[in-house]
Amino acid sequence: MRAFFPATFDAAVRQKARWMTGIALAGWDRTGWARPQALADHWMRMRDRRAPLSMVVLAAAYVGLTAWVLTFLVHAMVPAAQGWPAMPVVWLAGANIGLLVWRLGMRMAFTARIYGLAEAFWSLPRFVVGNVISLIAAPRAVVRYIAMLRGAALVWDKTRHEFPDLRSSGG
């Protein structure tokens, strides 16, 4: 399936919030869970509903990364700040950085394979922008969902899309 995301930051946040509200949150209490033995159904529902939990983990990761960088800066610049973090913390941070580099490398490799090298390099800033959009959209989705649970009419906040002319690009 080919999908087109909105062109403006605000529209992208609105659309992502709408998806989180409808699929992850409202979908949860509207359809519930399947019978206990329906593992494929559970897998698909968990995949659809992972957005709110992913945003908590993502926010914690960005806070942790910021704290990690500040810690190293303080230790490097302030002579009175003695000692470095414990070795397990250093190993854990190294493993996480390694996995992030691997994930970004795979993203670039797959993007390059389909769209070319230039788009592969653009996939890195898109990764960060996509995370920022998701982090901003998550609280908006939760607020709308809570309002819906309290009886307010759900506003779907439809976004406008600019569809490219695929005939001229060969797609």
Lowest mean pLDDT among 37-46, 87-96, 102-111, 114-123: 37-46
Indicate the pLDDT class of residue 153, thresholds 50, 70 and 90.
Answer: confident
**20-56 pLDDT, tens per residue?**
888 888 777 766 666 777 778 777 777 777 888 888 8
Region 130-155: what's the mean pLDDT? 88
| Cβ neighbours of 59 (radius 10 Å) | 15
Cβ-based neighbours of 18, under 8 Å, separated by 6 or more: 141, 156, 157, 158, 159
What are the angstrom distances between the C-alpha of 12 and each of 49, 149, 151, 155, 160? 19, 24, 26, 16, 10
CA–CA separation, 79 and 75 (whole Å): 7
pLDDT beyond 90 at 118: yes
